[in-house]
Amino acid sequence: MIKDIFKKKNIVGWQDTFDDIFLEKFLSKSFMFGKHNSYLYGEDVITNPPNTETLVLCPDCIDHGCESNNKKRKYYPDSNISYSFNNESYRCDNFNLEKTNNNFLFSGCSYTFGSGLPYNSTWAYQLNKDLCGDQFYNLGLNANSQKAIIYDIYNYIRKYGKPKAVFILFPDISRVIGFVDSLSSIEVKTRLLKEEYPNESSRFFTQDLLYFDFYNSICALEDYLKSIDVPFLWGTWHQETEEVLNLVSKNFNNYVKIFTNSNSAKYFKDVKIENNMSLRYWDLSRDLTHPGIKTHMIIKNIFLYEWKKKYENIN
């Protein structure tokens, strides 16, 4: 049943086998998800080609959640917000093999991408600045899933080598990877199965299974980065996911509590608006659904504090 539903939605990720077109147009290309990530926007599939720039980006619009049945979307371009995509279709500097060892690597979902916020106001950009990173390398993508985030870290290192350190801000666990076949091109699309198809998906993607899968995936990533001597810190912005992870936090080596510490005075006291930041987006981003600059500064401070404590021995 679920396979038939995905066929109707033009999703090919549930086929028993993939044909030669899939192998040629997707698997034979770079495995970096930025080049393949897509946004299912009504009946249209929107992708971000490398080395392009745009003023608006779904779901960065005035509608809450960009519902596919809403046909009256209105965009409000702002000169303070634009999206420039690098050579791998990420919102950051171009990746360069020769500069990887001297730069930090960030990843996550729309929180890390900075949906609806100026480029220089995101937690990742500000943390990179505080750590004196040369280039800014950010793998964050809108609607990214936990699995895609982890895969991208492996794929980046395989292609560009070891970064100076890795920081990840994960979303909730309900997101899984699917594939969209559009204009003879296979694109990656995150599917919120438990929300979009709760009756069918619950047979395969129980909450216990999703947590079990993530637990083992993140433990494997921790072990891998440790084996190649790459410092690592990670957390999640999602309260429910963090509450579950807190129960097994002693089993992780690099886990940082974000939501739990978001109101702590030691992280909040240094949060301030810099001269080049916009007061307009201090509390909420332009899309009115993502947190504003204040939350990003708190997340940055939490990661920075934990970095200094773990890797610089500064308490």
Q: Please state, in angstroms and rounded to a whole number, the distance separating the CA atoms of residues 149 and 232.
A: 14
Which structural domain range is residue 8 located in?
A: 2-311
Higher pLDDT among residues 13 and 315, named by residue: 315
Any idea of the CA torsion for 7, 149, 114, 27, to the nearest 10 degrees?
-50
Question: Which residue, among 198, 196, 299, 315, has the nearest Cα to 257 in the 3D structure?
Answer: 299
CATH, residue 151 = 3.40.50.1110
Per-residue confidence (pLDDT) for residue 112, from 0 to 100: 97
Q: Which residue has the higher pLDDT, 222 or 201?
A: 222
C-alpha–C-alpha distance, residues 96 and 56, integer Å: 27
| The pLDDT value given to residue 267 | 74
Q: How confident is the model at residue 130 (pLDDT cuts 50, 70, 90)?
A: very high
Q: What is the b/e burial string over 164-191, where b = at least 16 CB atoms within 10 angstroms of the residue's CB?
A: bbbbbbbbbbbbbbbbbbbeeebbbbbb
pLDDT tens digits, 86-95: 999 999 999 9
| Residue 182: strand, helix, or coil | strand
Length reported for the chain? 315
pLDDT at residue number 242:
95
- Mean local confidence (pLDDT), 85-110: 94
Q: How would you class 287 by CB atoms within 10 Å of its CB: exposed for 0-12, middle for 13-18, buried for 19 or more?
A: buried
The average pLDDT across 25-52 equals 69
- The pLDDT of residue 170 is 97
Helix (H) or strand (E) holding 261, with range, is none
Q: CB burial class (10 A; 0-12, 13-18, 19+) of residue 61?
A: buried
**What pTM did the predictor assign?**
0.85
**What does the pLDDT look like over 254-269, one tens digit per residue?**
999 999 887 777 777 6
Q: Is residue 108 classed as helix, strand or coil in its secondary structure? A: strand
**Total domain count, the chain:** 1
Q: 84-98 burial, b if ≥16 CB within 10 A, otherwise e?
A: ebbebbbbbbebeee
Rounded Cα gap, residues 239 and 8, in angstroms: 34
